[in-house]
Amino acid sequence: MRLQDKVVIVTGSCTGIGKAIARRCVAEGARVVVHGLERELGEAVVAELGSDRAVLHIEEITAENAPQHLVDLALASFGRLDAIVNNAAMVPSSTIETTDLNLFRQVLDVNTLAPFALIKAALTHLQERRGCVLNIGSVNAWSGEPCLMAYSISKGALLTMTRNLGDSLHRAYGIRVNQINPGWILTEREIERKREQGMPDDWYTSLPAELSPAGRLLMPTEMAAAAVYWLADESGPISGQVVDLEQFPFIGRNLPKN
């Protein structure tokens, strides 16, 4: 049990990557605060994990007191807080032509400022446990897809925050801060997005080799397996690191020539 008795807040864990991380945390001996906006889905996750191992909080992550509510719930339910996984994210289609400042601010609020606010709210309690933070970013932080402009920029800012806090919090508080940048993951939301774009339900079974050399997309369970290392004591003193999880080199990749 690599996370035995640890208490972990996982934002955006009613579905997708967050749900997979919450499941894996409990399988490794942790107790989790499940968070999201979909009450019915969240209740199903808690029922699956067990009410002695998981508790649910439904609230928009950008609400003024949401970070404190999550911290308070972890302490009231389990008596301690060892780790935070900042996974909740907003992923709208967005180009310079279609992005106004209101949308841009919304994306930054959810993807960058909310993680900062949760870390700040949990600081004292994480210090007590010499705990850690794992931010879930995106390979798009390095440059981004043209149709994911605001999202890509928000994840780039998250990456810089991870580097910054990974140094300063480790030195001052003993809190490690690291980040995983996933590539293309087959989540429920990704299937829905592609359906909304008019693609067939089985679109992910016939992807071109330049986009998926393995012949398939990454799965949320594979992300969750990687997350455990950064949440566990076995990652030791490592802090301020950003790891890309994609099936090809995102930077300097050699695409096939036409």
| 181: CB partners within 8 A, 6+ apart | 137, 138, 139, 141, 142, 155, 159, 242, 243, 244, 245, 246
**Among residues 151, 173, 204, 229, which one is catalytic?**
151
Residue 114 CA to residue 94 CA, distance in Å, equals 20
CB burial of residue 184 (10 Å; 0-12, 13-18, 19+): middle
Residue 26 CA to residue 4 CA, distance in Å, equals 9
**Annotation says 151 is catalytic:** yes
Long-range CB contacts (within 8 A, 24+) of 21-26 = 21/85, 21/87, 21/220, 21/223, 21/224, 21/227, 22/49, 22/54, 23/48, 23/49, 23/224, 24/221, 24/224, 24/225, 24/227, 24/228, 25/227, 25/228, 25/231, 26/50, 26/53, 26/54
CB burial of residue 112 (10 Å; 0-12, 13-18, 19+): buried
Give catalytic residue positions: 151
